[in-house]
Structure 1
């Protein structure tokens, strides 16, 4: 055990734990990437080991796949699963309409493919990820390594006509080298500050030569599970128009999740 959980860790943990309770025996489940999603994988691993939960998992990155296998989950590819009952993933930002910015972990291409190949997408997040307007978090755009500078110039030119507050773009780095995605591509982070029309921007960005996919998830998320540091969990369902509030207690054994970090 690694000591008492911090409020932000508690928020992530209770969101993940509540979402794990939505998973039923026999489901095919997409597993997201990132710190909050990693908590989910550990919760599911505990359910598999202790409760005999039988699920098939489709990870959205190599590191999520590694963690899932380590914890005893049955891992298959999306090609093998064909279609999923549910995808559970984190988000860097979400708004009132459950539109998202994702890709802080560099896996938004696989995450979007898996999420849209599912009957429903559930987002797990701490309350700090909720925003009135998307854009404070840099928007990731995955681009081909070939000609990435030309793609960057076209992106910056396109942003001039978009309803955004900032137009700076940067190549994501991994130390002294460009960050490389699981697909061998680069990521350009768009520092927009505020996105006035996320739907329009998502469509326009993907028309630029060299752009593979952007991190705007529009009309994809069905439910969001919002964790708070006091253990409170709010579940919003955009389709049903409902909001449920619950509170999860912390047990000593929950501290086994405390070694996870961003």
Structure 2
């Protein structure tokens, strides 16, 4: 099982395993979307099934909701939960201030709504996701389908005047057709290479007509849990200014690793 995992998957697994330690009995927990978040959902499901942990999960996508139900986590909508104790999610990039780029999995809108409706957000990631400056990963921007080409042109015009290194944009595709989010929208990926002022960019992007939300998560993340392929885990807390290191042992688990 674990012997078949790549170093990256091992890193994601140990980060997820450490992150679910922040979940307490009775919590309402936002469940992120993506490959790293999927490990977290499986780890949390194991705690529910085998240790009797009582949690309510609020998923950020239909695929996360399906996985959560499959592993035994009670799932409700954000409208039912109203407010959350904690959200655990992955990230495509994070910087030293724990600002993020998210949305590679196409769920940035629901992810941002759920994260901002939580007392705390914990991000889980492998070490390769850490950067000095955001922007190497393409920045997703969710737009409504109506007039998307106009929105794309306005975004390109706006980006050209800001402190970024690149300006290429592309409509995200799913084969021969546009990728459709859970909310029925399109995603335009901005290949900026380097974002000099992420806060400014996030604010300006959301002023463009047709833009629903962007993938910059500024001042939302409280902790980042960084996994390594050898089982080491580093936890950075932006509020307390602390860095903790630990080691997660790999344990074979048919229930956790099935269908990987």
TM-score range, shorter chain: over 0.9
For 2:210, the equivalent position in structure 1 comes to 210
How far the C-alpha of 1:252 sits from its partner, in A, is 2.2
Q: Could you tell me whether the CA contact under 8 Å between 2:46 and 2:256 is conserved in 1?
A: no
Q: Give, in whole Å, the separation in 2 of the partners of 1:235 and 1:217.
A: 19
Q: Give, in whole Å, the separation in 2 of the partners of 1:254 and 1:232.
A: 22
Q: Give, in whole Å, the separation in 2 of the partners of 1:43 and 1:3.
A: 17
Structure 1 unpaired stretches of 5+? none
For 2:61, the equivalent position in structure 1 comes to 61
Q: Give, in whole Å, the separation in 2 of the partners of 1:6 and 1:193.
A: 27
Q: Give, in whole Å, the separation in 1 of the partners of 2:206 and 2:193.
A: 20
SS in 2 for 1:21: helix
When normalised by structure 2's length, the TM-score is 0.98
User: Given the superposition, is the C-alpha separation of residues 250 and 229 from structure 1 closer, same or farther in structure 2, using an over 3 Å criterion?
Assistant: same
How far the C-alpha of 1:229 sits from its partner, in A, is 0.5
Structure 2 unpaired stretches of 5+? none
Q: Deviations over 1:71-119 (max 9, x none)?
A: 1110000000000000000000000000000000000000000000000
For 1:161, the equivalent position in structure 2 comes to 161
For 1:257, the equivalent position in structure 2 comes to 257
For 2:176, the equivalent position in structure 1 comes to 176
How far the C-alpha of 1:256 sits from its partner, in A, is 4.1
Within 5 Å, which residues of 2 pair with 1:28-177? 28-177=28-177
Q: Could you tell me whether the CA contact under 8 Å between 2:43 and 2:256 is conserved in 1?
A: no
SS in 2 for 1:17: helix
Q: Could you tell me whether the CA contact under 8 Å between 2:166 and 2:192 is conserved in 1?
A: yes
How far the C-alpha of 1:3 sits from its partner, in A, is 4.6
Which ranges of 4 or more aligned residues in structure 1 deviate by more than 4 Å?
none
Q: Deviations over 1:8-44 (max 9, x none)?
A: 1110000000001110000000000000000000001
Q: Could you tell me whether the CA contact under 8 Å between 1:3 and 1:255 is conserved in 2?
A: no
Q: Could you tell me whether the CA contact under 8 Å between 2:10 and 2:230 is conserved in 1?
A: yes
Whether 1:244 aligns to 2:247 is no
Number of residue pairs aligned between Structure 1 and Structure 2: 260
How far the C-alpha of 1:236 sits from its partner, in A, is 0.4
How far the C-alpha of 1:160 sits from its partner, in A, is 1.1
Coordinate RMSD, CA, aligned = 1.2
How far the C-alpha of 1:2 sits from its partner, in A, is 7.4
